[in-house]
Structure 1
Amino acid sequence: MNGDALLSIGELSDRTGLPVRTIRFYSDAGVVPPADRSRAGYRRYDAGAVARLDLVRTLRELGLDLATVRKVVEREVPLAEVAAAHAEALDVQIRVLRLRRAVLTAAAGRGCTPEELGLLHRLTRLSGRERQRLVDDFLDAVFGGLRAHPAFTAVTRSLTPELPDHPDPEQVAAWAELAELFQDADFRSSMNRMAGELAADRARDDTTGLPVVLAEAVRARVEPALAAGVDPASASAATVMAPVVAHYGRVLGHTEDRGAAADATLRHRLADRLEDMQDPRRDQYLRLLALVNGWPVPESLAPVLDWSVRALRTTPQD
Structure 2
Amino acid sequence: MDGDTLFTIGDLARRTGLTVKTIRFYADCGLVPPTDRSPAGYRLYDVAALARLDLVRTLRELGLELAVVRRVLDREVTVPEVAAAHADALEVQIRILRLRRAVLRAVAERGSTPEEMDLMHKLAKLSDDERRRLITDFVDDTFGGLDANAEFVDLLRSAAPELPEDPEPEQVHAWVELAELAQDPDFRAAVRRMAEYQAAERAEGDRTGLHHDLTEAVRDAVGGALDAGIAPASPEAAAVVDTLTARYAQTFGRADDADLRHWLLARLEIAGDPRTERYWHLLSVVNGWPVPPSLAPVFGWFTAALRARSAQ
TM-score range, shorter chain: 0.7 to 0.9
Shift in alpha-carbon separation, 1:187–1:217, aligned structure 2, 3 A: farther
Following superposition, the deviation at residue 75 of structure 1 comes to 3.1
**Which of 275, 294, 301 is residue 295 of structure 2 equivalent to?**
301
Give distance in 2, aligned partners of 1:225 and 1:271: 19
1:232·1:310 contact (CA, 8 Å) conserved in 2?
yes
Which residue does 1:282 correspond to in 2? Answer: 276
Which residue does 1:206 correspond to in 2? Answer: 207
Which residue does 2:162 correspond to in 1? Answer: 163
Alignment of 1:70-85 (within 5 A): 70-85=70-85
Kindly provide the amino acid, as one letter, of the partner of residue 183 in structure 2: Q
1:95·1:165 contact (CA, 8 Å) conserved in 2?
no
Kindly provide the amino acid, as one letter, of the partner of residue 9 in structure 1: I
Following superposition, the deviation at residue 17 of structure 1 comes to 2.1
In the superposition, the TM-score normalised over structure 1's length comes to: 0.80
**1:24 is the counterpart of 2:24:** yes
Q: What's the % identity of the aligned pairs?
A: 57
Following superposition, the deviation at residue 36 of structure 1 comes to 2.0
**3-state SS in 1 of match to 2:44:** strand
Deviation string, structure 1 residues 153-182 (Cα, Å, up to 9, x no partner): 433335x43234626143332222122222
Shifted more, 221-230 versus 43-52: the winner is 221-230
**3-state SS in 2 of match to 1:11:** helix
Shift in alpha-carbon separation, 1:248–1:197, aligned structure 2, 3 A: farther
Following superposition, the deviation at residue 80 of structure 1 comes to 1.1
Structure 2 runs not aligned, ≥5 long: none
Shifted more, 285-294 versus 238-247: the winner is 238-247
Which residue does 1:63 correspond to in 2? Answer: 63
1:60·1:69 contact (CA, 8 Å) conserved in 2?
yes
Following superposition, the deviation at residue 110 of structure 1 comes to 3.1
Following superposition, the deviation at residue 298 of structure 1 comes to 1.7
Shift in alpha-carbon separation, 1:235–1:51, aligned structure 2, 3 A: farther
Shift in alpha-carbon separation, 1:142–1:67, aligned structure 2, 3 A: closer
Number of aligned residue pairs: give it. 307
Kindly provide the amino acid, as one letter, of the partner of residue 207 in structure 2: D
Shift in alpha-carbon separation, 1:17–1:151, aligned structure 2, 3 A: closer
Following superposition, the deviation at residue 192 of structure 1 comes to 2.8
Give distance in 1, aligned partners of 2:175 and 2:228: 36
Give distance in 2, aligned partners of 1:10 and 1:229: 88
Give distance in 1, aligned partners of 2:74 and 2:119: 48
Following superposition, the deviation at residue 60 of structure 1 comes to 0.5
Which residue does 1:112 correspond to in 2? Answer: 112
Shifted more, 147-156 versus 58-67: the winner is 147-156
**1:253 is the counterpart of 2:253:** yes
Kindly provide the amino acid, as one letter, of the partner of residue 177 in structure 2: E
Alignment of 1:212-231 (within 5 A): 214-231=214-231
**3-state SS in 1 of match to 2:97:** helix
1:144·1:192 contact (CA, 8 Å) conserved in 2?
no
Alignment of 1:233-272 (within 5 A): 233=233, 237-255=237-255, 262=257, 264-272=258-266
In the superposition, the TM-score normalised over structure 2's length comes to: 0.81
**What's the RMSD between the two structures over aligned residues?**
3.2
**1:86 is the counterpart of 2:91:** no
Give distance in 1, aligned partners of 2:213 and 2:118: 38
2:161·2:286 contact (CA, 8 Å) conserved in 1?
yes
Following superposition, the deviation at residue 131 of structure 1 comes to 4.1
Give distance in 2, aligned partners of 1:31 and 1:220: 76
Deviation string, structure 1 residues 19-64 (Cα, Å, up to 9, x no partner): 2222222222222222222111112222344433322221111111
Give distance in 1, aligned partners of 2:164 and 2:18: 39
Give distance in 1, aligned partners of 2:294 and 2:308: 23
